[in-house]
Structure 1
Amino acid sequence: MSRPDLSAVDGGNTVEQQATAWFVRLRADDASERDRQAWQQWLHADPGHRTAYGRVEALWSSLGEFAAAPELAVRMPRPRMASRAPRRRRWLAAAAAATVLACATGMAFLLLAPRAVESAYRTDIGERRSLQLEDGTRVDLDADTRVQVRYDPHQRLVRLEGGRAFFRVARDSARPFLVQTSAGSVRALGTRFEVSRLGDAADVTLYEGSVELRGGADAARPATRLGMLVPGQRARIAGQRMQVTDAAVAAGSAPGWLSGRLVFNDTPLPEAVAEFGRYSFKPVLLADPGLASYRVSGVFRGEDVEGFIQALGEVYGIPEHHTADGAHVLGKTP
């Protein structure tokens, strides 16, 4: 039988060794179509198989001219083979050629161990961006947003340093998905939710699945579990507490800002003004402190700050003037 006996592979990282056995087998001169079909079945049986095999191929490529040096011996898992000597010699020749996994001490699998991957992404004022992370998770960044992403073998971590993001999380039961802010964090396995930074607070809106919310952690205290959300709920995290309200979002829907719409539902005027600040280089300023008590409802285009200000004038009679640099000032100046 030419297929590697994967049950005979023991010690170390079993999946990595299985990937190695397949890598060697497929490069033997007697590799058959049956071998390739069996390899495909193994590859698709678990996402970790494809990841492990990809690391083997990547390491082979990285060694370049040293990849075929027979004097670099490697301890390979031996499959149980038929007793015919020519086939066994051909397989061993392929194994010798697979020195991609060798290192000076013979501890080749140390080179194949998963490592942490870190990335940073940002958008400018007026810019939106959609990302697909290595596990298939999709992240949409609103304008003026900054995130740091760190994936390691134990968890998937996104730190939202500013702005707003919408997450469609790929399932991975072995690695929880965490979104951290200075106010607290969100833990999910597979779900759709939005997180917004609002100064010292954070807003979390759940569209699908479930999430666990925790308060902020620091050197003096660990993160405090605050509670769970169900679809259609929004929570504000601040000061180690969360306040839950109905978000009035339909199942399977997505935030309006993904299509450039800003949706306000009894939103405090300062928060609505901050939303437009993501899309306009000319800020909107509230000159009258009394305007902080005003609340806004409606749907606006993110880039149409003039239309928003006009609506405020029509509904509330709020006056507007401009500064020398073009900033919009709402309310009477003192």
Structure 2
Amino acid sequence: MTGEEGRDGQGDGQQEGQGAEPVVTREIAAEAAVWIARLHGPDRSNHMERECRAWQARSAVHRLAFERGTDLWMEAAGVDRAAVAQATAASRPEGRGGEGQGASPANAGTRVWGWPRPWALAPSLTATVVVVGVLVGQPWRDIDRYDTGIGEQRLVILKDGTRMSLNTSTRVKVELDQTKRRVRVEGGEAFFEVAKDASRPFVVEAADAAVTATGTAFLVRIVPSDAGVPEALDVTLVEGQVIVEGSGSRKAAPAIAQPIVMAAGDRLRVRSDQGGHRSPLPAAAPALDRPRMDQLLAWRRGEAVFADLSLLEAVTEMNRYSSTPIVLAAGLSDLRVSGQYKTGDSEGFARAVAELHGLAVKAHAGRIELGRQ
């Protein structure tokens, strides 16, 4: 959910407003569970459907509770979502006043959720009972996925107020509930500005490490394996304090033997031998250094900053932001590059480097080639 919907305040305890995340109470969850059980029972009728639509129209929270409950019911029953969509379309009475979704004036401008007829899917009673138990007996758990494409950046404000900035080609899964806050970085790079909540530590898992904080700002980046160099995880602490320890998610990866407490300005690099890419060198222990923060965070303002970096490393960084890669001719990798460049402008970067080192630039077959003149 986007966090832009809220409840209407009519007996629900929360008002709708931009930026407010709907909060489903146990009472509304129980009501949604009852509606789902009734709709998939033998006494379902058009009148019952209209009453349920009216119940959903009361607030965004009611609609959210019904949507989540329906998802749980489908998962418990093993229902194919494509079949649900087809059955819903087939069973929805189009063009009949008062019977179709949104047909009545009371529903105008309100998003409500349709459903197939019970005979279209025939779910088991057991599945419905499971959903009712989950809805009423457990607190809500929000699980969301966010991702960015090549060259795309995205700011996400989580339900707890944490700001999560995603860099190019990043994939994360967020899980928030009443007892924990957990994020899984599956690839790419993310900057977290964590909202303070001592009762719910904020845990970011990536590769074989878990980063725990209660209120701080830090950067997590997964560096893919390449040319025999194993995958690496970089954790950079901008402010506050975090604890990094092994998560045990990858049994073959080198573990962090003891929890590492980081101080502001530290960067921790942990290498893995997972994915079939094994380094010819012995596995390195986690290493701490103190990099320039303005370089590491330059992507947040759409820039890449290099200070006496090898051309190969600079090209690798620029290629993260463009679907048109820069390709180096043999013998150019060790040339040095400094400067400030716009991310995504591969051609501009290539021409600047060519002018600096007397190279030739050629666009060919969807790539930019840098070579000798």
User: TM (normalized to structure 1)?
Assistant: 0.62
Deviations 1:121-142 (A, max 9, x none): 1111122111112221111111
Distance in 1 between residues matched to 2:307 and 2:268, nearest whole Å: 15
In terms of mean alpha carbon deviation, does 265-274 or 205-214 score higher? 265-274
Is residue 2:289 matched to residue 1:248?
Answer: no
| 1:233 to 1:268, Cα distance in 2 relative to 1, 3 A | farther
Work out which of the two has the higher radius of gyration on C-alpha atoms and give 1 or 2.
Answer: 1
Select the residue among 187, 206, 229 that pairs with 2:237. Answer: 206
Distance in 2 between residues matched to 1:184 and 1:172, nearest whole Å: 22
Look up the match of 2:341: 300
Distance in 1 between residues matched to 2:31 and 2:135, nearest whole Å: 17
Deviations 1:221-245 (A, max 9, x none): 8653362322223232214633222
Distance in 2 between residues matched to 1:174 and 1:163, nearest whole Å: 29
Question: Residues 181-192 of structure 1: matches in 2 within 5 Å?
Answer: 181-182=206-207, 184-192=209-217
Q: What amino acid is aligned across from residue 127 of structure 1 in structure 2?
A: E
Distance in 1 between residues matched to 2:329 and 2:354, nearest whole Å: 15
Q: What amino acid is aligned across from residue 165 of structure 1 in structure 2?
A: A
Look up the match of 1:329: 369
Question: Residues 156-167 of structure 1: matches in 2 within 5 Å?
Answer: 156-167=181-192
Look up the match of 2:316: 274
Is residue 2:28 matched to residue 1:58?
Answer: yes
Q: What amino acid is aligned across from residue 59 of structure 1 in structure 2?
A: A
Displacement of 1:176 in angstroms is 2.3
Look up the match of 2:66: none
Distance in 2 between residues matched to 1:262 and 1:332, nearest whole Å: 24
Look up the match of 2:143: 118
Is residue 2:193 matched to residue 1:168?
Answer: yes
Q: What amino acid is aligned across from residue 298 of structure 2 in structure 1?
A: G
Distance in 2 between residues matched to 1:226 and 1:132, nearest whole Å: 29
Secondary structure of the equivalent of 1:241? coil
| 1:157 to 1:61, Cα distance in 2 relative to 1, 3 A | same
Question: Residues 87-166 of structure 1: matches in 2 within 5 Å?
Answer: 111-166=136-191
Look up the match of 1:228: 261
| 1:332 to 1:223, Cα distance in 2 relative to 1, 3 A | same
Look up the match of 1:263: 305
| 1:241 to 1:172, Cα distance in 2 relative to 1, 3 A | farther
Q: Tell me, which stretches of 5 or more residues in structure 2 are unaligned?
A: 1-9, 15-19, 37-128, 225-230, 273-283
Q: How many residues align?
A: 250
Displacement of 1:62 in angstroms is 2.1
Q: What amino acid is aligned across from residue 314 of structure 1 in structure 2?
A: E
Distance in 2 between residues matched to 1:166 and 1:51, nearest whole Å: 22
Deviations 1:178-221 (A, max 9, x none): 22222533222211111122110122222111122235632368
Conserved? CA contact 2:321–2:343, under 8 Å: yes
Conserved? CA contact 2:21–2:159, under 8 Å: no
